[in-house]
Amino acid sequence: KGGFQKYRKNENMTMSGFFRRNFTWAVQYSDEYAWTWTECRKWFPCEYRHAWQKNILKKNPTVPGPYVGMAIPGMEDAMSYARDPWKYAFNLLKKSKNLKNLLKNPDFEGSDGKLVLKPAPDSVFYKKLPDWSTWQAKRSKGTFSLAAGQGIGGSNAILLKGVTGGCAHQGIKIDPNGAYIIRASAKIINRCGASLGAQWRDPQGKWCNHSMNMAVPFTEDLGNGWKRATLVIRNIPEKTQYLNVMLNSRAGNAEDAVLFDNVEVFSMFEKELAVAPHLEDALEKWQKDFAAREKAGNTLKNEKKSRPVPRK
């Protein structure tokens, strides 16, 4: 309950998602610490000293308790994410085997396809590289091509050769209150510079929020000359509708090149989270107790209804 609920509903956010976003902002912008509390549920096991504290736990008896994480599943994840988004992201990658890649043709194995967004006016679309646009500065005279069998493990890859300032990129529609992980692998040929980047486009597909663009180098060694880069997107700029993944090349000459493969974008909160594992037993016990109370209450109501009404 409360006036803030209208803001949550206007943005179509879950309770835990609304808390996660606001608490994350509080942590980011505080210079010392962020303080949060709850009145009707506990954050962790503790003994209350006062009767009013114990009585307040009895409020909203149809809502699981006594812990916040039982009442609103996902609250522990929200706290962990706000404390350290990078650590949360890498733990998610380790433990989750079925994360959905939001990109189309991420490994360049596709033979045809359509762009989510129309190519930007200064971009070029190649039929052999479906779902991807390419761009290079006017001074750059490089080439973009499908490198069949030259990717990781003999798969396909995209080859940017002699691109002194340019990229291959793809845009996807995103949740303005979401959080995302971007990963890609690259193999440098000669002394080419390469980075994995993220840029933004508005609802009309126009580039926007340039000051919030970001890029990171490929540093995680995968062996056989391949390296991986990872970006954690925790803040979506205002008035942004699309996230553009950028595979950037900075060749020094015509022979410098870079191969890109296995490009991935994952939503960290694609679906509503379940109760935390350490609270599963407590929730199961609460559900059984609640069902027993409901059954007893219904039985009592039925008994009262079945009693004969005394005649006057």
Per the structure, the complete domain to which residue 32 belongs is given by 1-83
Q: Give the HSE-up count for residue 6: Cα atoms under 13 Å, Cβ half-sphere.
A: 2
Would you say residue 212 lies in a domain?
yes
How far is 23 from 276, CA to CA, in rounded Å? Answer: 19
Q: For residue 118, what pLDDT is reported?
A: 63
Whether residues 75 and 137 fall in one domain: no
Would you say residue 19 lies in a domain?
yes
Whether residues 47 and 178 fall in one domain: no
Q: For residue 275, what pLDDT is reported?
A: 87
Contact between 270 and 100 under an 8 Å Cβ cutoff? The reply is: yes
**What one-letter code names the amino acid at 169?**
H
How far is 22 from 195, CA to CA, in rounded Å? Answer: 31
Residue pLDDT, tens place only, 94-135: 988 889 999 999 999 875 555 555 666 677 877 778 889 999
How far is 128 from 148, CA to CA, in rounded Å? Answer: 11
Average pLDDT over residues 160-178: 95
Neighbours of 68 (CB within 10 A): 23
Contact between 237 and 209 under an 8 Å Cβ cutoff? The reply is: yes
Whether residues 135 and 212 fall in one domain: yes
Domain of 138: which CATH number?
2.60.120.260
Residue pLDDT, tens place only, 35-71: 888 888 888 888 888 898 888 888 888 999 899 999 9
Would you say residue 311 lies in a domain?
no
Contact between 202 and 239 under an 8 Å Cβ cutoff? The reply is: yes
Whether residues 129 and 79 fall in one domain: no
Would you say residue 115 lies in a domain?
no
Say how many domains are in the chain. 2
pLDDT at 301 over 70: yes
Q: For residue 121, what pLDDT is reported?
A: 66
Residue pLDDT, tens place only, 70-81: 999 999 999 999
Nearest alpha carbon to residue 182 among 302, 81, 263? 263
Cα(first)–Cα(last) distance of the chain, in Å? 46
Q: For residue 99, what pLDDT is reported?
A: 92
Q: Which helix (H) or strand (E) holds 70?
A: helix 68-71
Average pLDDT over residues 265-289: 89
Average pLDDT over residues 173-193: 96
Does the predicted model carry a pTM greater than 0.95?
no
